[in-house]
Each structure stands twice: as C-alpha cells, then as structure tokens.
Structure 1
Amino acid sequence: MFTNTYYPIVGGVSESVQRLKSRLQVMGHRVLVVAPKLEGQPEKEDDVVRVLAVQNFNGSDFSLPVPIPGQLYEAIEAFEPDIVHSHHPFLLGDTAARAAETYKLPLIFSHHTLYEHYTHYVPGDSPRMQRFAIALSTEYTHLCDAVIAPSESVRQLLQERNANPVVAVVPSGVDTERFGQGDGSALRRRLGIAPGAFVVGHVGRLAKEKNLPFLAQALVELLSRRDDVHFLVIGDGDARNTIEEIAETNGVAARVHFTGKLQGQALIDAYHAMQAFAFASHSETQGMVLVEAMAAGLPVVAVDAPGVREVLRDGCNGYLLAEDDAQAMADALMDLVEDPERLAKMRHQALLVAQEFDESRCARLCLTLYRQAIAGGGPVSHADDGTWERVRGRLGAEWHMLCHRGRILRSLFQSMPNQPLLQQPLLKKDEELLPKQ
C-alpha cells in the first residue's frame, strides 16, 4: 500500500489505510505500507517503509514525499507482493504505478478524496488548477486494474468523468464495536459541561474545505435559543479562529469547547460526550466520522453531499439538509434537543446503520476485489529476475507515467476556460503520444 498520509497524521485517509492494513493482517495477510517520514512516527515499524518528505506542505497538515527509488525497490523485492494498492493519484501514487508496472502486478486505486476541493493548498489556486486536479485523479484511474470508490456517489461521479469503468464501492471501515464503548463523563467534567446539558459535536480538521463558517453560524443559532446546549469541537486547524470569532460575536463562546486533535480511546470518549453530531462539509467522499459518530449512537444532522447521503438516511438516523441553511440545521438539532423519544429512536437507527460499515465487512469486500484483479492478470513476482529484466520493467513504467502526464496536459489545455473538464474527453490512447516513424 502506498499512501501520502499515515500515522501519526490524524485524518480520514490515514485512518482508512491503518484500519484496512490492520484488518487484513488479522485475516492472515501480509501488508507492507510505503508512507512518508513524519515527526512522531514509531521508532520501529516492521511492516512500514518510510520515505523522505517535506513536512506541512504550504502550511497544511500534509507532507510532500520524496521517494528514493532504489530504497523502495529493494524493500518491494524483499516483500514479493501479489498486488499494489495506491491511496493517492500523485506523489507516492506515481511510485505505486511505477512499482506495479515494473513487477507486472495488478494496481488498485482508492479514490478517497475529491481533490478539486483541496487546490487552495497549492500556490496559484484557480479554476484551471481545479480542472487539473480532476484530470490528474481521473487519468490515474486508467493506469489501474480496478478502482475503489468509498461511496456510490463517488462511483457515479467517476463514471461522469470517463474514468476507468472497473469501479467497486468499498467504504472505509470502522471498528463499530470499539467505537460503541466509551465514556464521555470525564471530558464533560473537565470542560465544565453539566451532566444534564445537551452536547452537539463535530470531529475533523478545522480547514477551509470543511465548510466550518456555515456550521458555526448554525450552531450559534442553536445555542442562542437554548442555554443548556453546548458545542464540542474535536480537531484543530486555521478555521478554529473563525469559529471562535463567530461564537464570541454572538455571545455564546463560553459554551463552545475545543479539545484539539484526539486519537484512540480519547476520541471515542469524546464521541460519547455528545448527544448529536453536526457536519457541513461538501468535500467528503464518504464522511468516515459520520460512521464513527453513529457507531457511538449519535444521530447526525448534515448537509447533503457525495458520500454523506450513503450513510445518513433523512428522518431515520438523523436529518439530511438539502443545502446550506443555518436556520434549517438549527431547527433539526433543536428537534433532537426537545424530543427525547425521537432522539432515542434515531440513536438506535444510527447504531444499526453503522454496522453496515464495520471494518471487517469492508476488508472482505476489498479482499474480493484484490482476488479478482490477481486472477485477471497475476500475480507475477519479478523479484528473482535478472538485472536487465528489472531495468526494462522500470523503463516501461517510466514510459507509461510519461504518457499518463501527457494525457493530463492534453486534457487540461484542450478544455475551454469556462467549461468543466469532465465534459471533455479525457482518455487518449498511449499510441497517440508515440513519436511517428
């Protein structure tokens, strides 16, 4: 598995990779993770290869891996993989594609992220940069034997963008049993939240793409209506200042609580300090935190978005809002505050829906896809090939990556300035890029 984010980074992709790796290992499989070197990583990791990386790229939580091919190929050849699984379409995702091509192994890609929502982390952000992000991830799918979409919404979006048609919906799993066991009383006492108070929570990076100014406005409206309601925010980031300013301006800052980043049992206990969960991001492909919240028995109030609508059933395990409407979100949360019977019913339904996304089930689905890809074209290990075969494989990999970049650039510059890239034909045959005889 190749990933640009991994432990100790806290985030959806990092957690997804760690959980899938651990579950596959429990099922008896060997997994090697290639990830960036990060501050705070374990001193010894038997099943992880770390590569050099630039930390906190452009002020973000993300790292910029700088892989050294020789080091990686030695580790890969020693491991003798049956399959390569890439979790990003760039950086170590490129390295994953090269490794798969070099050793003639099936390549699987998990499309975790709608990258066009994250271009503000790149200098020179613009609509053209967003079109480039779409082209990059879409064209990458054509390098792969199969693609994993974490939700049906993402699968449909990939179809619209003329991506690789071999797409399987495999959600990122959650250990529902573990998230169902927590105690939030200590955290509530530490924050000065009375036992009888109603707590609405949120978990995630406090970043621009999470639509937090809207969420803060909705929660401020709720807190203005009831003195016994509190807002608990788990996570950290630049948008914290925005939430604090909105709360201060509206006179409810004393009932808005920040814990910073939490992991492990501390995170689970924080979920159990809440009675309901609020979410407003439009950039999610699944919204794994929603499943975590439901596994802790929390009804969810969220704005409709890809991935969110797969786990949130309006009127069943929470409320799904059609658009950003602060009054509507405050009304939906107020309904849970004032109707304990409805709250109890939605808590029960939340627990039932969470079971559909248990990590054991999701790992079995992923394993089925692996086996299908292997049966279709492998596995073929070249670990014992001679030097020339390895060199030839690497040259072939570099050629395919060059063709891949050529298709992206052609798609980008052929698109009209005001026309979405997904309306342009993205897929070009490698032969079109070959020099003429």
Structure 2
Amino acid sequence: MGCDTFAPNINGAARFAERLSAGLVQRGHAVHVSAPNVRYALEKPRIEKIEGEDLVLHRLPSVLWIGHEWLRFIWPWRSKHYARKVLDEVRPDVVHIQSHIVIGRGLTREARKRGIPVIATNHTMAENILDSTRLPEWGNKLFVKLAWDDARRTFNMVSALTTPTRKAADFLETTLGISGVIPISCGIDMHQYTAVIGPRDAKRIVFVGRLTAEKRVEDLVRATARIPDATLDLVGDGDQRDALAKLADELGIRDRVVFHGRVSDEELRAALTRASVFAIASIAELQSIATMEAMASGLPIVAADAVALPHLVSEGENGYLFEPENIDELVEKLDRVLGADDAAYEAMQRASLEMVSAHDITRTLDTFEALYRGEQIPA
C-alpha cells in the first residue's frame, strides 16, 4: 500500500487505507504499507497495530507542510529512491496506491519497471489543496493544472483505477480525459457502530471531519445559531478551529458549539450514537466515510447537494439535501429532521441503516482482491 496520509495523521484516504489493509490481513494476506514518518528519518520496517491488526510499516522521512497543522510529505525528488528500496525488499505481488501525489507516484514508476501490477485509488481533488498552497489566484490555477497533468501521467501507468463513487469516477474521466474508472465504495464495518433507534430528548447536530475551508463547517455553525436549543458537536480538528470558535462567539452560541478535537474511535462512535442528526456542508466529497459512519449509527443525514454526497442521501427517506452555501435551506432541512414526529424520525434512522448496508466492507475487500488477481471488474 502506498499512502501519502496514514495514521497517526488521519483523513478519509488514510482511514480507507487502514481499514482495507487490516481487512486484507484478516483474510491472510501479507500487507506492507509505505507511508510518511512523523519525523524526517528513515527507519527500519516495523510492525504497527492498525485497526486491531499487525501491519508492516515502511515509514519514510517526511517534513511538515508549512501552514498545515499535521500534513507531512516526502520530498518528491526522493520518492523513486524510497520506492526502489521498499520494492526491492518486499517484492510484492501487487502495489495499491492511495494517491498519485508523491509516494504513490514513485511506487507506480518503479513498480512498472519491475513488471509489478499497480492498482490506484483516487481520493483527492487537486482543488481541495488550494487552501494550503498560499498561492495567488493565478498560481492556484497553474497548480491545479499541473496536479491533474501529473495525475494523468501516473494513472496511465496503472492496471486499474478506482474511486469511491460513480460520480467521482465520472469526474475523473471528464477531468483527465480517460475512461474505465471503476467505482468501489470505501466500505464500512457496520458492526463497529451502535444505532439506538428511537427519538432523541435533545437536538444534537454532529459533524465529523477536518475543520478546513472546503468542509464549510461555518455553515453548520450559522445554521445552529438559528435553531433554538440545538447544539453542534464538531468531532475533528483543523486550521479553521479558531475561526469557527470566534464565529460561535459572535453569534452568541459558544456554549452550544462543542469542539471535541481529534478523538479515539470509541469516542467518535459514542458521539455519533448520542446525536440526533449528522450534518455535512462540504462541497468536495468523493464519498465521505464520516457520513457512512453516521448512517451506520442510525442517524438521519442532512448534506450538501454536491459531488458524491447525494449518493448517500435519499431525499425524504434517510434525510435531506440542501443547496451548497444556502444557510436558509440548511436550517429548514435540519428543522425537518429535528422536528419530525417519532414515527417519521425512526423511519429515517432505519433508512440510513438500510442504505449503508450496500457499502459493507466485505464487498469492498472482495472487489479489490479480484483486482489484485487481475480479474476484470465492470467500470
């Protein structure tokens, strides 16, 4: 596995890579993970406990991205050097990259030289990185073009290219001018989550994810201010935390917005179980594992009608969609859920559980195993 993000620094791509790797180990595979170290040092491969399973980690020297609180990266000109070292030592049957950016880029090029098949999964949109570039407008446009050009060169070398949803696959095919992108859900183990079916005594809105600009968490804060007695639980951290706290102060609801920060898996699941509704205003989700976690916890969903989120919401059944950045509509949809009678609320809960069952991790593992064996999967 080639991962540009991995524990202890977590985002959606890292969470997927962890669960996929652990699931493969449970099925008897030997899994090695090439990922950034937490410091600029090359260490010997070591066993790390990830998702309850022993994975072999090859931690590569990395540096912190300036202006970002946790994102670390490998110097691009060293990626092929480290890839050669790992591939010569492990001699894998297949390489699966979770990003084309640095580690995945080097692994793809070196694996190709050795005749090792490469599977690629794309979790990123180049546009999502713009908040961390600190470039002027013209620089951002050039950055996006160069990033997608580099992605195209890397993805043209792989045996199969996947992404979490059909909509994300369509986006990739249009943006890169390619075909045959395979949609495979990131998957979720529903047994890890607890769904308490029934009405809630309090109006608890919850969001799980990074507190960054593309997540538009400020929309959730503004909406909460307009819903009497509602509280907003923010589970996660990011560079927008201080700005969000200031906004809550300005709106006079600082006591109704709870910043949990980064929490353990147990605390995350508990926050979802006790919530009334999961809300997400993000405009750049290629799937959203956090939304699936909320569904597995039996929560109705209120989500922005953007990119892949509509795949997880059936309007009026397990929740509602709202026009991105439309606070009035967001408030109205949250009010519908929070004000629903007991029977309607429970129906939304059960609909979320039924819909997320299609994303069971078992199907995801089966599909990737087939790809690793070289079988053809319909795009």
Larger RCO: Structure 1 or Structure 2 (Cα < 8 Å, ≥ 6 residues apart)?
Answer: 1
> Any gaps of 5 or more consecutive residues in structure 1?
183-194, 376-437
Q: What is the Cα deviation at residue 56 of structure 1?
A: 4.2
1:348 aligns with 2:357: no
Q: Which among 144, 165, 168 is matched to residue 130 of structure 1?
A: 144
Q: Deviations over 1:41-96 (max 9, x none)?
A: 99743511111000244324311124575665344233221111111112102211
- Counterpart in 2 of 1:371? 373
Moved more, 16-25 or 62-71: 62-71
SS of aligned partner of 1:127: helix
Q: Distance in 1 between matches of 2:232 and 2:79?
A: 46
Compared with structure 1, are the counterparts of its residues 57 and 105 closer, same or farther at alpha carbon in structure 2 (3 Å cutoff)?
A: farther
- Which residue number in structure 2 is paired with residue 22 of structure 1? 22
The amino acid that maps onto 2:172 is L
Task: Give 1:118's aligned residue.
Answer: 129
The answer on whether the counterparts of 1:107 and 1:144 sit within 8 Å (CA) in structure 2 is: yes
Secondary structure of residue in 2 paired with 1:3:
coil
Q: Which moved more, 1:276-285 or 1:303-312?
A: 303-312
User: What TM-score comes out, normalization by structure 2 length?
Assistant: 0.88
Post-superposition shift, 1:235? 0.9
**Which residue pairs with 2:161 in the alignment?**
147
Question: Kindly, what percent of the aligned residue pairs are identical?
Answer: 25
Task: Give the Cα separation in 2 of the matches to 1:252 and 1:71.
Answer: 49
Residue 168 of structure 2 aligns to a residue in which SS?
Answer: helix
- Residue matched to 2:52: none
Number of residue pairs matched?
359
Deviations 1:10-56 (A, max 9, x none): 211111100000111111222111001026x9974351111100024
Other-structure match for 1:213: 218
On the 8 A contact 1:199/1:232 being kept in 2, the answer is yes
After superposition, residues 176-187 of structure 1 pair within 5 angstroms as 176-180=190-194
AA aligned opposite 1:353: M
Q: RMSD over aligned Cα, in angstroms?
A: 2.4
Following superposition, the deviation at residue 219 of structure 1 comes to: 2.1
Structure richer in helix, relative to its length = 1
Equivalence for 1:109: 120
- After superposition, residues 54-69 of structure 1 pair within 5 angstroms as 54-66=63-75, 67=78
Mapping for residues 233-248 of structure 1, pairs under 5 Å: 233-248=234-249
Question: Equivalent residue for 2:105?
Answer: 94
Using structure 1 for the length normalisation, give the TM-score. 0.77
Measure the CA separation in 2 of the matches of 1:156 and 1:257: 37
Contact kept? 2:287, 2:309, Cα under 8 Å: yes
Paired with 2:82 and 2:243, the residues of 1 have a C-alpha distance of: 44
Are residues 137 and 70 of structure 1, via their aligned partners in 2, closer, same or farther at CA, if it must alter by over 3 Å?
Answer: closer
8 Å Cα contact 1:146/1:373 also seen in 2: no
Decide whether the 8 Å contact of 1:51 with 1:68 is kept in 2: no
* Equivalent residues of 1:116, 1:133 under 8 A apart: no
| Partner secondary structure for residue 359 of structure 2 | coil
| 1:357-401 deviation per Cα after TM superposition (whole angstroms, max 9, x unaligned) | 1212111112222222699xxxxxxxxxxxxxxxxxxxxxxxxxx
Separation of aligned partners in 2, 1:303 and 1:356: 21
* Residue of structure 2 equivalent to 1:282: 283
Name the residue aligned to 2:310: 309
